[in-house]
Structure 1
Amino acid sequence: MSHPNRERADRILDAAGELLLRMGYRKVAIDDIARAVGIGKGTVYLHWRNKELLFQALMMRESADTTGEVLAGIRADPAMILPHRMISASFLITHRRPLMTAMLRGNAEIFGALGDLALREQQDELRTQFEATMLRHGLVRSDVPNLTYALNASTLGFYVGNTLSDEFEDIPPEEKAEVLAYLIRTAFEPPGDPDPRAVAEVAAELGAALEELVSSYRQGIYAHDPTRAPG
């Protein structure tokens, strides 16, 4: 059974997320969040001692939920680990989460000073591992110059495209995901079918890394939660 304090923490984070999207980080006050949840300001501080930690927890929860969805897909079908499938699936999962979309676009209007807290270090480490593992097992081409930059630049355009121009905003997200999958498949993966054994090994290795990431996010979300006090 979940603890009432944990449920309250989640209600606080839900309200913080809605207010963040509506007002932006700079304008949201702890008072606003407390009012939206129907609790006193002091109760919010029981969970997180300042606004910055509260919003860090919100970003961790968003990242944990998003990564958890990707992980569930890999557990259901190891071939989802292939770059074209994983990158396009992540795009669609993120698209359904306005906060994650804003975070990945580096939306300064929404996040203000919070932009640097977006858990980038762990995500960069994971990306480095992802690419090294894919190369080692022959699931990405080894002749692409500056692979990290190439993959990042190719993918980022799908996230920020609408912020630069509204020319393509009528294209449904599912179609954009198909285009992204095609681009990654043809530009970055070797021709022919991948070796099923390599796919299984990579899915196991990277699945474990994603699991660890989700677990560390989950621990961080409630780091200041009274339910974590000794006893």
Structure 2
Amino acid sequence: MAKVGRPPQDPARQLERAHRILDAAAELILRWGYDKTTIDDVARRAGVAKGTIYLHWRTRDQLFAALLRRERVHLFAGIRANAPATLPELFGGLVRETLNRPLLRAVLLGDDEVLGKLTRMKRTSGTSLELGGPFDAYIARMIEHGAVRAEPGDHLTVISSIVYGFIALPDLLPEAARLPDERIAELVTDTVERAMSTGRPLPGADRRAVAEATADILDAMEEVARRRLAASLGSEERGA
């Protein structure tokens, strides 16, 4: 496939410039919304020529897909910083970090006011929960070590309902009744615990196995996010 242009030969300079452009795009989308943000606007804010942006991305949609993929990488880094060791802690952290990232929250909820037609990209940009097979394997390990009940099943439906419900919650409540993001994350952790836990104390070996499985699924999700971002930045070979 023919390339649109030739990015600078210095990989570090290319990557720094790409992130500067993404920073500008994020700021403008949150200020004006996706539909009102043009490549010209982004170029002016980033301090680059319009044509320079097209050296990195062929279209505006590709630029913003890269932005959303970067947001997802940052989300997982934020979750990791709190070292979740259980399923409830993992998803409490996911909600906390999503609430702290307005672009991801907007995509997850299909917020047309912020993202306009970009909301359609949530199916392909890696911004939904996207759990599937790895989640099923994780739940199987949780059940094996006594941390999660096998019944009534439908674990993905339960988790997704809790996560989406609490992320949407601030918009559904009167201003005076809205809770701090940290409190919402605590409620998610507690709700997942009550909905899925066996309620039995775990022996030390099982606690360690649960913590290891939680770290493994976080590693897997973060690795997928980093690979997708690297592809969007043209940096697969550098392992960015």
Fold conserved (TM > 0.5)? yes
Change (3 A) 1:182 1:171: same
Count of aligned pairs: 222
- Displacement of 1:196: 1.8
Identity %: 32
Taking structure 2 as the reference length, the TM-score comes to 0.81
- Structure 1 unpaired stretches of 5+: 75-79
User: 1:59 corresponds to which residue?
Assistant: 68
- Displacement of 1:51: 0.1
Change (3 A) 1:98 1:211: closer
Task: Give the Cα–Cα distance (whole angstroms) in 2 for the partners of residues 122 and 19 of structure 1.
Answer: 25
Matched residue SS, 1:138: coil
- 1:214 equivalenced with 2:231 (yes/no): no
For 1:6-49, what per-residue CA distance to the aligned partner results, in whole angstroms no more than 9, with x for missing partners? 11111110110111112222111101101111221101111111
- Displacement of 1:222: 0.3
Change (3 A) 1:127 1:29: farther
- Displacement of 1:129: 4.2
Within a 5 Å distance, the mapping from 1:128-207 to structure 2 comes to: 128-166=136-174, 169-194=177-202, 195-207=206-218
Change (3 A) 1:130 1:23: farther
Matched residue SS, 1:28: coil
- 1:13 equivalenced with 2:37 (yes/no): no
Question: 1:64 touches 1:217 (CA, 8 Å); kept in 2?
Answer: no
User: 1:77 corresponds to which residue?
Assistant: none
Within a 5 Å distance, the mapping from 1:34-113 to structure 2 comes to: 34-74=43-83, 80-113=84-117
Report runs of 4+ in structure 1 exceeding 6 Å deviation.
Answer: none
Question: 2:24 touches 2:42 (CA, 8 Å); kept in 1?
Answer: yes
Task: Give the Cα–Cα distance (whole angstroms) in 1 for the partners of residues 103 and 227 of structure 2.
Answer: 20
**RMSD, matched Cα:** 2.6
User: 1:116 corresponds to which residue?
Assistant: 120
Matched residue type, 1:63: R
- Displacement of 1:208: 3.6
User: 2:7 corresponds to which residue?
Assistant: none
Task: Give the Cα–Cα distance (whole angstroms) in 1 for the partners of residues 222 and 190 of structure 2.
Answer: 27
Change (3 A) 1:146 1:54: same
Question: 1:13 touches 1:54 (CA, 8 Å); kept in 2?
Answer: yes
- Displacement of 1:184: 1.0
Change (3 A) 1:17 1:120: closer
Greater RCO structure (CA 8 Å; 6+ sep) = 1
- Structure 2 unpaired stretches of 5+: 1-9
- Displacement of 1:131: 3.4
Q: Which moved more, 1:209-218 or 1:125-134?
A: 125-134
Matched residue type, 1:213: V
Change (3 A) 1:61 1:113: same
- Displacement of 1:98: 1.7
